[in-house]
Amino acid sequence: MEEASIVRTRRLALVTGGTRGIGAAIARRLQQEGHEVVATYRGNDAAAAAFASDTGMRAYRWDVGDFDACQAGVARVEDEAGMPVDILVNNAGITRDATLHKMTPEQWRVVLEDDLFACFNMTKAVIAGMRERGWGRIVNIASINGQKGQFGQTNYAAAKAGMLGFTKSLALESAGKGITVNAVAPGYIATDMVAAMVPKVLEAIVAQIPVGRLGHPDDVAHVVSFLVDDRSAYLTGSTISVNGGMYLV
């Protein structure tokens, strides 16, 4: 197929946690490709306002760990955009790193809710419409640490590994309906989340990345853009690693 002959359909994409870090790079990339894009965020109003004024995208504030908030939020987004969400990127996530013997039930709970339950909450808000229309793209942003485990991250690794099982199961359920469901597993990407790590621990991790550097949010956005493309219709249930060669599966 000639690149020049492709006419891309303009669709509504929703990126959770889309005003900063990897999510913002994904949102910008999908907008560059001609999609209508909205981002959600939870707490950082200043960053969201700066992002919205810079990009012209709408930024919506709600907690993706809250089921009812997701149903109401998506309904509002679709109403205000005048079109349904055809592309969902479940990107929002948090860490509360601690070894298990020190981890509090609260640190366990919030990470599972924000990182894993959020996929269920958000996907439930869009899946019926996608099935009716016979088209959809769902991309779940997991992590290298859901694939290999990580010291100090039983909560986060469990949530991210859970996203991979969720992705495969939903891909099977959706394959006959024109909906693809895939995961991207980033390695260590230069974002606020990684910058918050203990510097010595981070240094030791960077030394283990064959490409020799932290990833850039655009490295992940590029793969998401490929996955949501109309031409990626035969690619479903996969996990694509974007980790600089740090872990090969």
Dist CA 51 CA 202 (whole Å): 27
CB of 36 to ligand CAA, least distance (A): 28
Binding test (CB under 6 A) with ligand CAA, winner from 99, 104, 169, 208 = 99
Which residue number is nearest to ligand CAA in terms of Cβ? 152
CB of 185 to ligand CAA, least distance (A): 8
The interface region with ligand CAA, picked from 17-25, 27-35, 96-104, 169-177 by CB under 6 A, is: 96-104
* Closest C-alpha among 32, 166, 142, 153 to residue 92: 142
CB of 4 to ligand CAA, least distance (A): 37
Query: Strand order in 36-41's β-sheet?
Result: 58-61, 36-41, 12-15, 85-90, 136-141, 179-186, 239-242
Print the binding letters for residues 102-121 with ligand CAA: x by CB under 6 A, - otherwise. x-------------------
CB of 97 to ligand CAA, least distance (A): 4
- Asked whether 110 and 103 are in contact (CB, 8 A), the reply is no
* Gyration radius of the chain over CA positions: 17
Dist CA 155 CA 157 (whole Å): 6
Q: Tell me, what amino acid is at 104?
A: T
What the block records as the tokens of 223 is 């793969």
What the block records as the tokens of 243 is 């980790």
Which listed residue (60, 156, 188, 247) is catalytic?
A: 156
Q: How many CB atoms lie within 10 A of CB 176?
A: 9
Is 247 catalytic? The answer is no
Residue 162 interacting with ligand CAA (CB under 6 A): no
- Asked whether 101 and 47 are in contact (CB, 8 A), the reply is no
CB of 201 to ligand CAA, least distance (A): 4
**What 8-state DSSP symbol labels residue 63?**
-
Print the binding letters for residues 183-222 with ligand CAA: x by CB under 6 A, - otherwise. ---x-x----xx--xx--x---------------------
Residue with smaller CB distance to ligand CAA, 177 or 222: 222
Residue 151 interacting with ligand CAA (CB under 6 A): yes
Let me know how long the chain is: 249
Q: Which residues are catalytic?
A: 156
Site of interaction with ligand CAA (CB under 6 A): 95, 97-99, 102, 143-145, 150-153, 156, 186, 188, 193-194, 197-198, 201
